[in-house]
Structure formats: structure tokens, C-alpha cells
Amino acid sequence: MAGNLEGQITSARARRAVPLANSTPMASRFDPRLSTFRMPAPLGPLRFSAPGPTSVPRDDSDIAFAPVTQLSAWIASGALTSRRLTEIYLARIEALGPKLECLAMVTPELARAEADAADALLRAGVNLGPLHGIPYGLKDLFDTKGIVTGWGAEPFRERVPENDATIVRKLRAAGAVLLGKTTVGALAYNDIWYGGRTRNPWNLNEGSSGSSAGSASATAAGLCAFAIGTETLGSITSPSQRCGTTGLRPTFGRVSRAGGMALCWSLDKVGPICRSVEDTAIVLAALNGPDLADRSSIDAPFHFDANADFAGMRLGYLPEAFGEGANAVDHAALEAVRRLGIEVVEVSLPDLPYGSLMNILYAEAAAAFEELTLTDLDDTLTWQDEGAWPNTFRKARFLSAVDHVQLDRLRYQVMLALDGLFSQVDALIGPFMTGPMLIASNFTGHPCLHLRAGFLDVGTRSDASLGEGKLTTGEPDAAGPTFRVPQGISIWGRLFEEGSILNLGMALEREFGVAALRPGLPS
């Protein structure tokens, strides 16, 4: 064997000499569909709820916290202009943004110009849809032409793209107004970025979790109508849990990632972070669609009817997810489902080493940012402890290539396992980080809706962690003061069937009755 090693080393060095941009995809691509999968048929036009009150509140904060469904109706009727709504959010950003450290870049002049253009179209009788004139925040992983897109990391803080990401073009075509770039934990990990630490609006002593840290924080604090997040392994659901927002992680491949920073080509997903369930459906409708610029893009219909009946739905839960570690809000959420008259059944998953799949994430992430490791630019990242990216990238160099292939085969076994589970039930409910579902469903590409279910009184929590092959939400300080903070619940659905979990989520949102509560931020 020793005589053969030199050739292998030479080949590796030759490959390293070829520069590979972050935008260069892998030749192989992940597809969540098994051979037996059948794409759901289109079921007619999208149907959203009827608009609420026609009169606009006098208090700007009541306008700022209104759901997109209501804001859209006010703008369409002429009761509210996009320019006024944009100014309300810009004022809140100026007042609260520095406290929350949730905006990496604010684009006020662009926002005003886009708002004025939206108002002009309406005066001309042109309405581009439910996002027409609605201001939003964009996670600072997505390219915006001529605007710094720094990925939250020191080596890229001066990076200015020459083109817009696909989803930026889609949102502009839908009439949405870009307020600025929301913060992202450096290279899509946690809530620490080159400008500081993004804060949880419900407790400014703790971070907002990540990596869609700024998107969740800004949305929860009423600094935008909605925001865009991404998830590789918890980056939509975790900050939504911490900040009390509603996050929708769509099926892998449904939304284009072209023009977005790649962390893990076979795992990255793009989705909305909002303050209500139906708002996530509105945003997903604008983002949905195939894109030749993303090799993993899948052409799939998106059906949503706000008034659809979920009678006959069979909802599963994993008993261990509601055992040790579950709290009162978790158990109350399960009881709320039963009150809706839905059949709730126990289910199980095969005993597989789901946590081992995280080595796939580590390997892909290390490959995406190999240049940082090989040039020592990783030393410039602020966060340097044992669980942060620099050391994770370094240790990934010691993963066995053979084991990596075997992990891919294990991933297929997990795909079969979840396919079997969803052949028994229409959806699954549970705490988002209890049991194997956060890891398993991210690696299989299944969609997940996370929504606020209640509140807990807990001490300031430590950092969430993805280290050592385990996931934690952070431990509360048992000795210090307590804070009333949101607690959410997750609903997982079948591939490309987001509509059914959104309908269930809307019903639970009404049952919980806590979605409209706001954080008591200092002025």
C-alpha cells in the first residue's frame, strides 16, 4: 500500500490547485424522491383568506405587526400605501435594529424607490399579487446586485455581487420591497456574525439562534413584514423556536438556491419566516418554481387553499418526543390537535444512527469553504471555539471517503424509513429538536412548519450547538432571572405536500391563540 500512496497524494494536490468557487456545484445531486414517488397533481388556483378589517390602525406598531394577508388587503384597497408601510419599518429598524443587531445592511433609498414604484403600479391599475408593496428582509446569504452580501463572515464582509439571486428577482417580480439584508451567523452557523451577536427580541440577553438569526429576530420584532431564511440543519426552525416566529422549511428542491451561498449542496433549503402560518404560504407561492441555475431544482406544483378541510387527516407522533425533555407547551400542543378532532396515532422509526448523517454536512461544508482552511483565512472568523466552523472544517479533513459513501447509503435507508412513516400518517407533530426528526427530515428533504404554541418562563439560554454529532437548544441559566419566551411546535409533512401542514398549522394557530402577542422591547 505504501508504494501506491504517492500517486494518491499527487492527485489530491493537483485537484487542490484548481480553484473552485462557492457557486460551483457538485456533479452528483440529491433528489428526495424515491422511485415510487408520485408528484401531487395541481389542484387549482391558490386561495388565501378573505381580508380582515378595512380600516387601518392609527398606531404604527399595530400596522407593523399586522400579517401580510392584512397588509396586502390594505395596500390593494388604497387604505395604506407601500411607501407609508416602508417608512414605518425603516423607522423601527432605526430605533430597534442596533439593539437587536439583526440587520447587516439597510437599503432605505432602494426600499423607498421600490415602494414608490409599487404605489405607482397600483394607481395605474396593476397589482402584482399578495406581496405587492410588502417590505421584507433578506438573509445575507443571497446575492443582491451592487449591495454587500457578506455571509456574516469576516473574509467576505466587503463582497459585492454583480447579479441578483433568483429569489430576489422572483420577489421583485411579485412586488415585494427590499428593506435590507438580515444578519446570518458566520457562514450559516448560529447567531454570531462580524458585526456582533443577533439578539432574541423576547430576551435581549441571549442570541436569537441561527443561522437565519436576523430574519427571525427582525420579523419577531416587527421590523419587516416577513423575511427569507435558509435551513441546512435547523437554521429556519431553530431561530423561529427562539424568537417565536413561524418558519416554513419547504421540500428540498422546491425553491431555487441560485445566487445564494452554498453550505451543503445536498441539504440547503430556502423558506419564509413570518408572523403567521398563512403568510408563509403567500411567500412560498412567490418563491416556488424550477430554476435551471440550481442543479437540485425540482419542478413541483404548490397548492394552497386557506379554507381547505383537513377532516380525515391522520397525524402521527413519536412517543419519545413527548417523554423526558418535553415541556408543558409540547404536551398542550398535542392536546390541541385532539381537540380539533384529528386522529392522532403513535408511530415509530427504525433504530438507525441518524446522528451519524451529520458527517455528510461537515464534509460538504468543509469542501464549500476549503480555501479558508488551506489558506488560514479561517483564523479571521470571530467564533473559534471547538464547535465553531474553523475546527469543524479542519476535523472534516479526517473523514474517511469510504465512510462518506457508506453515509450516503445510510441516507437512502433513512429516506426509506421516512417514506414508510408517511405511508401510515399524513403528517407528524413534535418538538422540533427532540428525537431524530430534525436530522432525519433535513437529510430526506421533507417539509417542516414550525409555529409558536405558547410561552415558558426560563432563564437566559446558552448557545444552541451542532457540535459532537448532537443538537442542543442551549441550557437556561437556573440561577439568574427568568424571561417569558416563546415555545413552538413542528409539523412535518410528505414531500411536496406543504399545503396540508399549512392548513393544520392555521387551525392550531387559532387554537393556541398566541400568535399576535408581541415582545416587550425597550423603546
pLDDT digits (tens, 9 = 90+) for 220-231: 999 999 999 999
Task: pLDDT band for 70, please (50, 70, 90 cuts).
Answer: very high
In sign, the C-alpha dihedral spanning 147, 153, 158, 164 is negative
Per-residue pLDDT reduced to its tens digit, 305-350: 999 988 899 999 999 999 988 999 999 999 999 999 999 999 999 9
**Which are the contacts of 366, defined by CB distance < 8 A and separation ≥ 6?**
373, 392, 393, 394, 396, 397
For the beta carbon of residue 62, count every other beta carbon within 10 angstroms: 12
Among candidate residues 439, 377, 366, 353, the one with its CA nearest the CA of residue 399? 366
Average pLDDT of the chain is: 95
Q: Which residue has the cell 433535513?
A: 442
Residue 74 has pLDDT above 70, yes or no: yes
Average pLDDT over residues 157-166: 98
Among candidate residues 169, 340, 363, 184, the one with its CA nearest the CA of residue 264? 363
Q: For residue 139, indicate whether it is catalytic.
A: yes
**Which are the contacts of 378, defined by CB distance < 8 A and separation ≥ 6?**
369, 372, 389, 390, 393, 394
In sign, the C-alpha dihedral spanning 49, 515, 141, 471 is negative
224, part of any domain: yes
- How far separated are the first and last CA of the chain, in Å rounded? 68
464, part of any domain: yes
Per-residue pLDDT reduced to its tens digit, 257-269: 999 999 999 999 9
Residue 141 has pLDDT above 90, yes or no: yes
Residue 314, domain extent:
47-512
Report yes or no: 100 and 199 within 8 Å, Cβ to Cβ: yes
What is the b/e burial string over 289-314, where b = at least 16 CB atoms within 10 angstroms of the residue's CB? bebeebbbbbebebbbbbebebeebe
- Judged by average pLDDT, the poorest of 133-137, 353-357, 477-481, 494-498 is 477-481
287, part of any domain: yes
- pLDDT score, position 470: 57
Q: Which residue has the cell 435551513?
A: 231
37, part of any domain: no
Q: Which of 72, 82, 209, 211 is catalytic?
A: 211
- pLDDT score, position 469: 52
Cell digits for 141?
A: 446569504
Alpha helices in 386-462 (DSSP H): 389-396, 401-424, 437-444
Residue 23 has pLDDT above 90, yes or no: yes
Average pLDDT over residues 235-254: 98
Average pLDDT over residues 371-383: 93
521, part of any domain: no
d(CA 504, CA 212): 24
Peptide bond into 208 cis (omega under 30): no
Per-residue pLDDT reduced to its tens digit, 378-402: 999 988 777 889 999 999 999 999 9
- pLDDT score, position 522: 78
Number of domains, the chain: 1
- pLDDT score, position 465: 65
13, part of any domain: no
Q: For residue 395, indicate whether it is catalytic.
A: no
Q: Which of 72, 82, 139, 209 is catalytic?
A: 139
Q: Angle at the Cα of 472 (from 268 to 185), degrees rounded to 5?
A: 45
384, part of any domain: yes
- pLDDT score, position 1: 87
Burial of 11 (0-12, 13-18, 19+ CB in 10 A): exposed
Per-residue pLDDT reduced to its tens digit, 250-296: 999 999 999 999 999 999 999 999 999 999 999 999 999 999 999 99
pTM exceeds 0.85 for this model: yes
Q: For residue 11, indicate whether it is catalytic.
A: no
Average pLDDT over residues 490-509: 98
More confident residue, 200 or 463: 200
27, part of any domain: no
- pLDDT score, position 474: 80
Q: Which of 235, 240, 296, 297 is catalytic?
A: 235
CA 95 to chain centre: 25
- pLDDT score, position 53: 82
CATH number, domain at 70?
Answer: 3.90.1300.10
- pLDDT score, position 194: 96
- Identify how many contiguous H helices and E strands the chain contains and give both numbers: 16, 15
Task: pLDDT band for 468, please (50, 70, 90 cuts).
Answer: low
